[in-house]
Amino acid sequence: MGGNLRPSFWRVFWINALFAPKTSLGFMRIDFILGTIFIIPFTQMLFFAFVAQLATNASSPIAYVVVGNAVATVTYSAIFSVCQTTDSEKNAGTMEHLLVSPANRLALYFGRGLIPILISLATVSIALVYAVVLFGAEFAPGAAAELAVSIVLTAFAMVGFGLLLGGVALFFRTSIILGNIFLFIGLLLSGVNFPVSALPVPLQWVGWGLPLTWGIASIRAGLAGAPIGELLPLWGLVGLCAVVAFGLSIGLWETFERRALSTGSIARF
């Protein structure tokens, strides 16, 4: 009877990619997806555009603000919904089973990140269309390919960050508080509505450590038609953020797995 009972990498990947959005990631209804992609970006960009216009009585910063908020809307699908997986697993009583399962962790996490990454890509893309068409943001001719690379890397980095926060949220009663904290930290420290350089130096260091900061910087550069030489370092930083976030999230959950095996329950963390 022996044999290897561990499920294959791709089986774990596709099961999590197809079923996790309906069970633990919160992507259960089409109205949620459409609202995330089409409505939230427009309302957030419109609000901060009016705030910027009232604050400066000029139209010059509007494009800067709407592009920053176009990218920042990725937090709703990449952080809130992904981070919520911790609450869902706890409420369903399946967290212990997940932590001690023989499933390949890399396949599990990339599988759970697939749909959020796709929704994040759609959200940022639609938001940038709003920024260019409705708010007059700059879009350099021929910059589509470079911009696409920036958007893809940003989506990966933010979903990885959401998975990392989901792991940290095991120590909390709910992950929503953590998601809200980092939503507003991103709006404040990541260069969404004003340059990071305008912050006090200690806060600048925090801002440079956030993946959203580099995602926004790379997308701004892509929209402006920056040369590849200028984009490569930014892509490298966004990609580094994605690798670090996914790596830390897997390492964190492996730590919890060992704790679950030694204590018998996540309730004793």
Residue 2: per-residue pLDDT: 47
Report how far residue 179's alpha carbon sits from residue 78's, in angstroms, rounded to the nearest whole number. Answer: 10
Assess whether pLDDT exceeds 90 at residue 146. Answer: yes
Residues 6+ apart with CB under 8 A from 51: 65, 193
Q: pTM for the whole thing?
A: 0.89
Residue 204 has pLDDT above 90, yes or no: yes
The separation between the first and the last C-alpha atoms of the chain, rounded to the nearest angstrom, is: 36
Query: What whole-number distance in Å separates Cα of residue 123 and Cα of residue 231?
Result: 22
Q: Is the pLDDT of residue 3 over 60?
A: no
The answer as to whether 2 is a domain residue is no
- The total of other beta-carbon atoms located within 10 Å of residue 115's CB is 22
Indicate the angle between helix axes 144-168 and 176-189, nearest 10 degrees.
140
- Whether 29 shows a pLDDT value over 90: the answer reads no
Q: How confident is the model at residue 8 (pLDDT cuts 50, 70, 90)?
A: confident
Q: Is the pLDDT of residue 265 over 60?
A: no
- What is the domain extent for residue 222? 9-268
CA 41 to chain centre: 14
The yes-or-no verdict on residue 259 having pLDDT over 80 is no
Give the length of the chain: 269
pLDDT at 45 (0 to 100):
94
**CA angle centred on 13, ends 11 and 17, rounded to 5°:** 120
User: Residue 86's pLDDT is what?
Assistant: 74
Residue 16 in any domain: the answer is: yes
Return d(Cα 26, Cα 24) in angstroms, integer. 6
pLDDT at 157 over 50: yes
Mean pLDDT computed over 132-154: 92
Asked if pLDDT for residue 267 goes beyond 70, the answer is: no
Give the number of domains in the chain.
1
Task: Give the per-residue pLDDT at 260.
Answer: 61
Q: Does 1 reside within a domain?
A: no
Give the least confident one: 7-11, 92-96, 141-145: 92-96
27 pLDDT higher than 60: no
Q: Does residue 257 lie in a domain region?
A: yes
On the 0-12 / 13-18 / 19+ scale of CB atoms within 10 A, 262 is exposed
Structure confidence at residue 15 as a pLDDT band (50, 70, 90): confident
Query: If pLDDT is split at 50, 70 and 90, which confidence band does 244 have?
Result: very high
Res 225 pLDDT > 50 = yes
In terms of pLDDT, which residue wins out, 215 or 172?
Answer: 215
pLDDT band at 133 (very low <50, low <70, confident <90, very high): very high
Categorize the per-residue pLDDT at 1 as very low, low, confident or very high, splitting at 50, 70 and 90.
Answer: very low
Give the C-alpha separation, 130 to 152, whole Å. 18
What is the structure's pLDDT at 124? 94
At residue 30 the predicted structure's pLDDT band, cuts being 50, 70 and 90, is confident
CA-based radius of gyration for the chain: 19
Let me know if residue 15 belongs to a domain: yes
Rounded mean pLDDT of the chain? 84
Residue 84 predicted with pLDDT over 60: yes
